[in-house]
């Protein structure tokens, strides 16, 4: 139903509502408050100077209104509260002046100044507060008031008789839920806390149930989606594994077995391979590509940076020797070099292609793409991952992530995928010692670095994170480079790396660092992903409080990639308690759980880009127990006659667009 069918909605109001993502009358009905406040009179005996108070009283003087800065105004009047007379000041309420007659009973809320008998009010109501009231707080835009919004919502509630209810009747009865209509009424007009709590629980459950129903149905469909037919001997795979210069851990072996079963099954693989920094995910992916090549199919591995793509290329080339053709495709190649790769790829002369976003450019055509791998999958948008998949006909999919997610979260948030987790670290790896230092302890830090550098080791220095401002990051890198050159330049080579550099320049600096031609590398978080320099034993991260725990854990994973004792130093005068978690554990799964608790899922998993987790009332972090219950219930519901009936009757239109979640 169109908004213009409501009284009081003209073109201007409609434009304001659009800014709130309200486009229909149905949208208005489900535009819920984001917060509720309890309005109760303050106990005068407990009021102290500077408190925020809510008081009722009688208007003693006609209000004065002063206009300034164009549309802004300040209104003042005297209020008799029964305990004294107070000068009330309130901004941008000039339109209420005509209602404030002498003797009018009103309620004000604001900050009290007992020394001068003043109240700077934030809210003003034209009636006496008789009893405790619950108030709805909506997100608004300039040009539309809460009162207008509530009037429109009330009109919409009258117009919309039937609201679609997506919770199966059996579950509604089992949990004694309010009806959908009752819940909506309560959410917009709460009278007491018990019914509001019930309405919120029911609404959260429905949102999470719908989400998990989508995910579980999608997973079921994918498990029955026909894939490529492969013949691949596990003996040949075992020979390759035994020839490796190291042994696989038990978790790596389990992941390899799961992937082998996926690749040789008649159904398409859709697997997330997650593991801590340095846990050995890459070798598992390489073994998967080996299996795929043995079966006569091509593999594509997409990395988020050229540095990492180049590193993967060198490692895979070394391990595959001359058995299979491996190529590297990045944006910095010449036209001639790219053209040669395109031709070889299309004719099937290339078995494994490693690269960045260049892998999904229009010119790239695969002969028979059988396996698609995305490294650090959360760094790619949904569309980028889909475009790579579309380069083949039902290729198997393997996502890799070094931001480990506790298994319960992973099974839920990546509900449409199978999950392989690598917890055990390769033998010989020593845990990285992490210490927290204040800026005033910098001399101590420099002294420690100097000692390590004298031993022939290398160090990373990470510049502070400044969101969405590459220019400032570059400046920070340059400032730190000057400081460290003053400290170490006479004895050691210091260089910097940042996003403004050309790819060739970045690659050269990383090569020089790998070869120990550079001993101290000042960088932004570009070194976070996958860079492997075994001789680096020190990392210093400035303004560590600006980073999430999982990102700091990722960064420190750049050191300790050998059997040498390694140290990560977090420089920060702020958020000591939060950062202290990193000094106590090197378990990325525990750290991500803490990050999840502190920061929520969006920051941690990059899920915001897909839009799948944008709920109106539910919150993944706070309502995780409800989510787990909704997951369990939706899985069971998929096998019921009630689900089949509801699907046939078109009760779940959102399930018709499941491809958008892929």
Q: What is the pLDDT of residues 313-350, one digit of tens each?
A: 999 999 998 899 999 998 888 889 999 999 999 999 99
- The tokens for 304 are 């988020």
Comparison of pLDDT for 575 and 662, the residue scoring more: 575
Q: Tell me which DSSP letter residue 622 carries.
A: T
User: For residues 587 and 576, what is the distance between their CA atoms, to the nearest angstrom?
Assistant: 19
Average pLDDT score over residue span 62-84: 90
Helix extents (H) in 400-544: 407-413, 442-454, 470-488, 503-514
User: What does each C-alpha distance from 511 to 101, 424, 497, 521, 557 come to in angstroms?
Assistant: 79, 29, 12, 12, 19
Share of the chain above pLDDT 70, in %: 88
**Strands 118-125, 105-113: pairing kind:** antiparallel
**Strands 536-541, 567-571: pairing kind:** parallel
**Strands 72-80, 64-68: pairing kind:** antiparallel
The torsion angles phi and psi of 459, rounded to 5 degrees, stand at: -140, 145
Q: Dihedral sign for Cα 7, 13, 14, 18, please.
A: negative
* Cα 189 off chain centre by: 33
pLDDT for residue 270: 85
Residue 528 pLDDT > 60, yes or no?
Answer: no
Q: For the segment 16-31, what is each residue's pLDDT rounded down to a tens digit?
A: 899 888 999 999 999 9
Which residues have C-beta within 8 Å of that of residue 396, sequence separation ≥ 6? 227, 228, 262, 263, 268, 269, 270, 292, 370, 371, 372
User: What does each C-alpha distance from 161 to 536, 603, 654 come to in angstroms?
Assistant: 67, 39, 21
The torsion angles phi and psi of 473, rounded to 5 degrees, stand at: -65, -45
- The tokens for 445 are 């830090």
∠ CA 239-302-502, rounded to 5°: 125
Where would I find the beta strands (DSSP E) of 212-297? 270-275
Binned at pLDDT 50, 70 and 90, residue 609 comes out as very low
Residues of the chain with CATH 3.40.50.300: 234-422, 433-585
User: For residues 188 and 314, what is the distance between their CA atoms, to the nearest angstrom?
Assistant: 60
- Name the CA radius of gyration of the chain, rounded: 31
User: For residues 617 and 207, what is the distance between their CA atoms, to the nearest angstrom?
Assistant: 8
Lowest mean pLDDT among 131-145, 147-161, 169-183, 391-405: 391-405
Average pLDDT score over residue span 223-234: 78
User: For residues 534 and 532, what is the distance between their CA atoms, to the nearest angstrom?
Assistant: 6
Residue 298 pLDDT > 70, yes or no?
Answer: yes
User: For residues 316 and 328, what is the distance between their CA atoms, to the nearest angstrom?
Assistant: 11
∠ CA 445-450-456, rounded to 5°: 135
**Strands 326-329, 352-355: pairing kind:** parallel
Fold category of 41-131 in CATH: OB fold (Dihydrolipoamide Acetyltransferase, E2P) (2.40.50)
Residue 184 pLDDT > 90, yes or no?
Answer: yes
Which residues have C-beta within 8 Å of that of residue 214, sequence separation ≥ 6? 654, 655, 658, 661
CATH number of 234-422: 3.40.50.300
Averaged pLDDT score across all residues of the chain? 85
Q: Dihedral sign for Cα 17, 18, 20, 22, please.
A: positive
Binned at pLDDT 50, 70 and 90, residue 276 comes out as confident
The number of beta carbons lying within 10 Å of the beta carbon of residue 350 is 22
User: For residues 464 and 293, what is the distance between their CA atoms, to the nearest angstrom?
Assistant: 43
Residue 187 pLDDT > 70, yes or no?
Answer: yes
Query: Please, what is the angle between helix 624-637 and helix 193-223, to 10°?
Result: 50
Residue with tokens 């004719």: 347
pLDDT for residue 406: 67
User: For residues 51 and 44, what is the distance between their CA atoms, to the nearest angstrom?
Assistant: 11
Dihedral in degrees, nearest 10, Cα atoms 628, 633, 636, 641: -160
User: What does each C-alpha distance from 405 to 267, 421, 618 come to in angstroms?
Assistant: 26, 9, 20
Of all helices (H) and strands (E), which one includes residue 536? Answer: strand 536-541
CATH number of 433-585: 3.40.50.300
Q: For the segment 83-103, what is each residue's pLDDT rounded down to a tens digit?
A: 899 999 999 888 899 999 999
CA distance from start to end of the chain: 30
Q: How many residues does the chain have?
A: 662
Residues of the chain with CATH 2.40.50.140: 41-131
Query: Please, what is the angle between helix 588-599 and helix 549-556, to 10°?
Result: 150
Q: Tell me which DSSP letter residue 24 carries.
A: B
Q: For the segment 238-255, what is each residue's pLDDT rounded down to a tens digit?
A: 999 999 988 999 999 999
Helix extents (H) in 347-404: 382-389
Binned at pLDDT 50, 70 and 90, residue 479 comes out as confident
- The tokens for 4 are 């213009």
Residue 662 pLDDT > 50, yes or no?
Answer: no
pLDDT for residue 444: 95
User: For residues 325 and 313, what is the distance between their CA atoms, to the nearest angstrom?
Assistant: 11
Q: Dihedral sign for Cα 613, 614, 615, 621, please.
A: positive
Q: Tell me which DSSP letter residue 361 carries.
A: S
CA nearest to 594, candidates 609, 575, 579, 573: 579
**Strands 520-523, 458-462: pairing kind:** parallel
């Amino acid at each position: 139903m169109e908004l213009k069918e409501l009284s009081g909605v003209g073109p201007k109001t409609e434009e304001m509502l659009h800014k709130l993502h309200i486009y229909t009358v149905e949208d208005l009905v489900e535009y819920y408050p984001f917060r509720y406040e309890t309005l109760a009179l303050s106990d005068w005996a407990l009021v102290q100077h500077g408190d925020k108070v809510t008081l009722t009283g009688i208007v003693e003087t006609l209000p004065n209104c002063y206009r300034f800065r164009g549309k802004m105004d300040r209104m003042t009047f005297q209020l008799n509260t029964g305990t004294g007379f107070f000068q009330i000041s309130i901004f941008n309420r000039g339109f209420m002046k005509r209602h404030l007659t002498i003797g009018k009973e009103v309620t004000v809320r604001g900050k009290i100044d007992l020394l001068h008998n003043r109240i700077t009010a934030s809210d003003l109501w034209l009636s006496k507060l008789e009893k405790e009231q619950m108030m709805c707080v909506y997100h608004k835009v300039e040009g539309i008031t809460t009162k207008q919004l509530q009037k429109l919502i009330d009109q919409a509630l009258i117009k919309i008789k039937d609201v679609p209810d997506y919770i199966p009747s059996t579950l509604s009865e089992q949990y004694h839920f309010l009806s959908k209509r009752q819940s909506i009424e309560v959410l917009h007009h709460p009278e007491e806390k018990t019914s509001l709590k019930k309405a919120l629980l029911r609404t959260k459950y429905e949102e999470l149930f719908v989400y998990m129903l989508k995910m579980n149905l999608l997973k079921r469909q994918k498990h029955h989606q026909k894939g490529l037919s492969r013949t691949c001997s596990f003996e040949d795979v075992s020979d390759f594994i035994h020839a490796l210069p190291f042994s696989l851990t038990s978790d790596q072996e389990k992941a390899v077995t799961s992937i082998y079963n996926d690749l040789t099954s008649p159904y398409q693989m859709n697997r997330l391979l997650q593991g801590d920094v340095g846990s050995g995910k890459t070798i598992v992916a390489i073994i998967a590509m080996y299996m795929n090549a043995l079966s006569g199919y091509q593999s594509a591995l997409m990395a988020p940076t050229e540095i990492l793509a180049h590193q993967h290329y060198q490692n895979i080339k070394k391990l595959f020797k001359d058995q299979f053709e491996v190529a590297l495709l990045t944006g910095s190649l010449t036209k001639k070099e790219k053209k040669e790769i395109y031709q070889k790829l299309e004719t099937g002369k290339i078995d494994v292609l490693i690269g960045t976003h260049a892998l999904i450019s229009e010119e790239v055509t695969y002969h028979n793409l059988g396996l698609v791998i995305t490294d650090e999958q959360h760094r790619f948008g949904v569309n980028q991952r889909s475009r790579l998949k579309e380069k083949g006909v039902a290729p198997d999919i393997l996502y890799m992530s070094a931001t480990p997610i506790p298994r319960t979260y992973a099974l839920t948030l990546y509900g449409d995928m199978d999950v392989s987790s690598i917890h055990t670290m390769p033998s010989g790896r020593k845990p990285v010692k992490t210490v927290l230092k204040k800026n005033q302890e910098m001399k101590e830090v420099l002294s420690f670095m100097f000692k390590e550098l004298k031993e022939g080791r290398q160090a990373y220095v990470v510049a502070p994170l400044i969101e969405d401002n590459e220019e400032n990051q570059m400046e920070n890198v340059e400032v730190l480079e000057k400081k460290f050159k003053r400290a170490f330049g006479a004895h050691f080579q210091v260089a910097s790396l940042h996003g403004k550099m050309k790819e060739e320049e970045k690659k050269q600096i990383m090569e020089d660092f790998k070869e120990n031609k550079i001993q101290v590398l000042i960088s932004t978080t570009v070194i976070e992903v996958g860079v492997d320099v075994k001789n680096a034993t020190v990392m210093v991260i400035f303004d560590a409080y600006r980073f999430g725990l999982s990102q700091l854990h990722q960064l420190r994973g750049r050191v300790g990639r050998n059997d040498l004792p390694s140290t990560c130093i977090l420089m920060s005068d702020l958020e000591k308690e939060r950062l202290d978690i990193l000094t106590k554990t090197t378990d990325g799964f525990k750290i991500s759980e803490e990050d999840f608790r502190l920061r929520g899922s969006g920051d941690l998993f990059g899920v915001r880009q897909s839009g799948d987790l944008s709920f109106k009332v539910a919150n993944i972090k706070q309502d995780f127990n409800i989510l787990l219950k909704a997951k369990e219930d939706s899985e069971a519901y998929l096998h019921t006659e009630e689900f089949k009936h509801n699907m046939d009757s078109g009760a779940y239109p959102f399930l018709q667009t499941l491809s958008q979640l892929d």
